[in-house]
């Protein structure tokens, strides 16, 4: 999956991109870990710029 041209990813898309489960992202959100997330119309989303920043900070 390419992030080029995307402004945000739904949780399922980010989980797939990171090769993680949706449950892992849920745990990360609950524990305050992982990239910054937001709600959009009742769905969890991740802004691509926040994902990129988090990946750089984590050395991923």
Q: What is the pLDDT of residue 4?
A: 75
Query: 33 with 48: CB under 8 angstroms?
Result: no
What is the pLDDT, as a whole number, of residue 30? Answer: 97
Please give the chain's pLDDT, 60 residues, in tens.
667 788 999 999 999 999 999 999 999 999 999 999 999 999 999 999 999 999 999 887
Query: What does the pLDDT read at residue 2?
Result: 66
pLDDT at 15: 97
Residue 40 backbone dihedrals phi, psi, to 5 degrees: -135, 110
- pLDDT attached to residue 1: 67
Distance CA 25, CA 43 (A): 13
Both tokens assigned to 41: 């119309």
């Amino acid at each position: 999956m390419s992030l080029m041209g995307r402004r945000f990813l739904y949780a399922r898309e980010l989980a797939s991109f990171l090769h993680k489960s949706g449950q892992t992202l849920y745990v990360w959100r609950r524990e305050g870990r992982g990239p910054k997330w937001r709600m959009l119309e009742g769905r969890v989303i991740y802004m691509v710029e926040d994902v990129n920043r988090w990946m750089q900070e984590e050395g991923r």
